[in-house]
């Protein structure tokens, strides 16, 4: 069955430092992959998506992610974190039987030190 | 283009009552999905509607139901509320065959 693992529950970085959030997936074929961000009390905002093609995808707010099939990973990166990036980040993959059902990882909460 | 809207944003109900939540998708989107988010279980898929038909359903009891109207607006209903139903209920819409989903702000349901 499809699954998504985000091994880091919390990550703390200093403002201006680089960021990498990990995501590993289990999927039978080449997956669609998504990263969402959720600010406290808010819904989820789509940061970026991978469907096919170039394995390095650019998203909003200066985020990027790289799809690595050999490692079953889709890690999210940002070269310089801003205090406003503090939020919870979710990696997601569609279920195999329907592209409309998303399986989410457990999330990584990002804290930003001033 | 307006985003996904959900009403109400906050709701407090008592055990045993029922509740109806509403979701209006992005204009032109025909698929609406519902998710439950809790601290313990995370984000879990409830069901998905496309052109007024339920296409997929998650592993939730029959107390959870939904429907979609001809204008793609959707409602979900929870009957006989339990304390464990307290959660953030998120609605997401999608266009056509795209797996890309756009989420609303959610409805925070508290059951006392």
Contact A46 B101 (CB under 8 A): yes
Q: What is the pLDDT of residues A52-106, one digit of tens each?
A: 888 999 999 999 999 999 999 999 999 999 999 999 999 999 876 655 688 999 9
The Cβ of residue A107 has, within 10 Å, a number of other Cβ atoms equal to 22
CB pairs under 8 A between A and B: 62
Q: What is the pLDDT of residues B41-75, one digit of tens each?
A: 999 999 999 999 998 899 999 999 999 999 999 99
Taking a C-beta distance cutoff of 8 angstroms, is the pair A65, A76 a contact? yes
Q: What is the pLDDT of residues A15-33, one digit of tens each?
A: 999 999 999 998 777 778 9
Contact B33 A41 (CB under 8 A): no
From B42, B99, B106, residue closest to A100, measured CB to CB: B99
A44–B contact, CB cutoff 8 A: yes
Tell which of B99, B103, B110 to mutate to test the A interface (max A CBs under 10 Å): B99
List phi, psi (to 5°) of A21. -110, 135
List chain B residues with CB under 8 Å of A107.
42
């Amino acid at each position: 069955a499809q699954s998504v693992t985000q091994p880091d529950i919390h990550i703390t970085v200093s403002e201006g430092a680089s960021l990498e959030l990990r995501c590993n997936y289990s999927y039978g074929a080449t997956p669609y992959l998504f990263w969402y961000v959720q600010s406290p009390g808010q819904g989820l905002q789509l940061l970026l998506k991978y469907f096919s093609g170039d394995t390095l995808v650019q998203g909003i707010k200066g985020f990027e992610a790289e799809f690595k099939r050999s490692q079953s990973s889709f890690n999210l990166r940002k070269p310089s974190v801003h205090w406003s990036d503090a939020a919870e980040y979710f990696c997601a993959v569609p279920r195999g039987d329907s592209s409309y059902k998303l399986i989410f990882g457990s999330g990584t909460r990002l804290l930003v030190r001033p | 283009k307006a985003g996904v809207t959900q009403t109400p944003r906050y709701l407090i109900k008592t055990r045993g009552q029922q509740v109806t939540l509403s979701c209006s998708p992005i204009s032109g989107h025909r698929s609406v999905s519902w998710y439950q988010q809790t601290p313990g279980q995370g984000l879990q898929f409830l069901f998905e509607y496309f052109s007024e038909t339920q296409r997929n359903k998650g592993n939730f009891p029959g107390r959870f139901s939904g429907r979609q109207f001809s204008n793609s607006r959707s409602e979900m209903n929870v009957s006989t509320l339990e304390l464990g139903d307290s959660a953030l209920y998120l609605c997401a819409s999608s266009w056509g065959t795209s797996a890309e989903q756009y989420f609303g702000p959610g409805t925070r349901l508290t059951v006392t």
